Amino acid sequence: MAIANALQISVGELAGIPSHRVNLSGIWWASWQTSKDGEEVITAQEVQFRQEGELIQLQTVTRGIDVEDGGYHWRGELRLWDNEILMGWYTANDGSVRSKGTMYFVLHPHGQEMTGRWVGLSYDGKIVSGFGGMAHSEQEARSIIDKLKSQESGSD
């Protein structure tokens, strides 16, 4: 039991009994609605997910956009709740970038994509927010942002 507790998994999982928890490990594409100098910017970058039980460590693989345009590498952590909600944090890896904040995502029932929001410190302010989406391709991730924007404007 002590080993299972330390690993934050069930005794059954430790014994090799299959879990009903969705496995999100692998490469994902993250897309974000953000801004630079007051102008909207939609970014997309590859992110490595490493899942151990309910905890998922995230690390960017690509920068997404050039440094001059506000691109940076980041890392973070998400906790999976009831196979449907992911909540966590992110922080910039690049020393000169102060960006950090929180993430909230709703997981598709089959684990195919995540739809949500981020809130944090950014180039444009101390408390900023935008839509976020994660999927297995760049186009799918960007499409999530488009859908969220259209729902917000009431044109969907």
- Among 60-64, 122-126, 142-146, the least confident range: 122-126
Q: What is the pLDDT of residue 19?
A: 65
Percent of residues, the chain, with pLDDT higher than 90: 56
pLDDT tens-digit series, residues 94-112: 877 888 999 999 999 889 9
The CA distance from 58 to 77, in Å, is 6
pLDDT tens-digit series, residues 4-49: 778 766 677 778 766 667 889 999 999 999 888 888 989 999 999 9
How would you write the chain as a 3-class SS string? Answer: CHHHHHHCCCHHHHCCCCCCCCCCCEEEEEEEEEEECCEEEEEEEEEEEEEECCEEEEEECCCCCCHHHCCCCEEEEEEEECCCEEEEEEEECCCCCCCEEEEEEEECCCCCCEEEEEEEEECCEEEEEEEEEEECCHHHHHHHHHHHHHHHHCCC
Q: What is the pLDDT of residue 55?
A: 93
pTM summary value: 0.82
Mean confidence (pLDDT) of the chain:
89
Domains and CATH numbers, the chain: 23-153 (2.40.128.120)
